[in-house]
Amino acid sequence: MPAIAHTSPKTIIRRTRLEKKVGLSRSSIYAKLKPNPKRPSDYDPTFPKPIPIGAKAVGWIEEEVDAWLDAQAAKSRGAR
């Protein structure tokens, strides 16, 4: 019998909670997700991607958001 991998459940957060967690506005969040030739510095390919959770709804995996925040803090402090 194959071993069953146990993974912890993922927590999905909606945009309003994401805004509070990362300290960015709605427009800034979406600017990080899509390259814009007029504002290339806004795009961040490392920013967590949303996942569909309904016909017209998306959410973000909280653990990915936390990892991104940790990476940003490390980057700002010169850590690698």
- Over residues 2-17, the pLDDT tens digits come to 667 677 789 999 999 9
Model confidence pLDDT, tens digit, residues 25-62: 999 999 999 999 999 999 999 999 999 999 999 999 99
Q: How far apart are CA 21 and CA 13, in angstroms?
A: 10
Q: pLDDT: is 38 or 80 the higher one? A: 38
3-state DSSP helix/strand/coil % of the chain, to nearest 5: 40, 15, 45
Q: φ and ψ at 8, to 5 degrees?
A: -75, 150
Q: How far apart are CA 33 and CA 72, in angstroms?
A: 16
